[in-house]
Structure 1
């Protein structure tokens, strides 16, 4: 059955108003938003120092991932500890170490989490809407599998070299 063309103001036909055309127009509207996102290089990160290389040749994944996907790439099956609106967190238990994988539905929740974690200091592997908390010596091997950057967060209070 042939489709009727919809008419807009002034009697003009609207060829993209229904069906496949609407999907194409919607896709084109989202494309600039997706490509305009930067890695946050212009933002102040409270003392975080990213590592120089952030490629993940083994992972081949650039989109935000689920806890289970990240866990699989690191060689474990995560046990979900937190299932909340702002984050999901899974615990990985391996012979080498235990570590946490935290994912976020939006980048702003990840940044809030990192701001809170900066009170404690330490190193974290940080990607697009995810963070891995592990022993510092494990983060570099995870980075080669997952991508992301290793961030050193400044803690509050005295440091070991303080009198």
Structure 2
């Protein structure tokens, strides 16, 4: 009777298991710093005072705007944090993929309004605050058209 047979099958199972888990672990490793460094600054929106390149986490964007965000939504498609300051309350939403941001903006267009939009993130704030946030974060201020009646001229 070969006593090494149970150990050989256990080793085989361990190798197969690690081969299955390795791609998942590296794909979800969260090593965003390397991904951000790989993008050339010319392809990113400017962030003059922040000196940072998005995509970033809700907490990072919140820190750059001077608040500590309270996470309201933590889902596969997005993370959203609420910032409460003396000037105003505002939302920071980040997305794991650009396509999720685009879908979110499509849905938000029903309501209209202005948003600061960057690579995989959106800041929802009073329109007068968006320019100062843009100076800190970069991005583009976008006007979304709402659905429904418009005021008569």
Q: Do both proteins adopt the same fold according to a TM-score greater than 0.5, normalized to the shorter chain?
A: yes
1:97 pairs, out of 88, 94, 102, with 88
User: Is 1:59 the counterpart of 2:50 in the alignment?
Assistant: yes
Please list every run of at least 4 consecutive aligned residues from structure 1 whose deviation after the TM superposition is greater than 2 angstroms. Answer: none
1:118 pairs, out of 109, 114, 127, with 109
User: Is 1:107 the counterpart of 2:98 in the alignment?
Assistant: yes
**C-alpha distance after superposition, 1:27-57 (max 9, x if no partner):** xxx9xx956xx67xxxxxxxxxxxxxx5211
Equivalent residue number for residue 64 of structure 2: 73
Q: Relative contact order (C-alpha < 8 Å, sep 6+): which is higher?
A: 1
Q: 1:161: Cα distance to partner? A: 2.5
Where is the helix percentage greater, Structure 1 or Structure 2? 2
User: Is 1:133 the counterpart of 2:124 in the alignment?
Assistant: yes
Q: How many residues align?
A: 116
When the two structures are superposed, what TM-score results if normalisation uses the length of structure 1? Answer: 0.66
SS in 2 for 1:110: helix
Counterpart mapping for 1:6-85 below 5 A:
54-85=45-76
How far apart are the structure 2 equivalents of 1:91 and 1:69? 13
SS in 2 for 1:153: strand
User: Is 1:147 the counterpart of 2:114 in the alignment?
Assistant: no
How far apart are the structure 1 equivalents of 2:71 and 2:82? 6
How far apart are the structure 2 equivalents of 1:108 and 1:115? 11
Which region of structure 1 is more displaced relative to structure 2, 84-93 or 59-68? 59-68
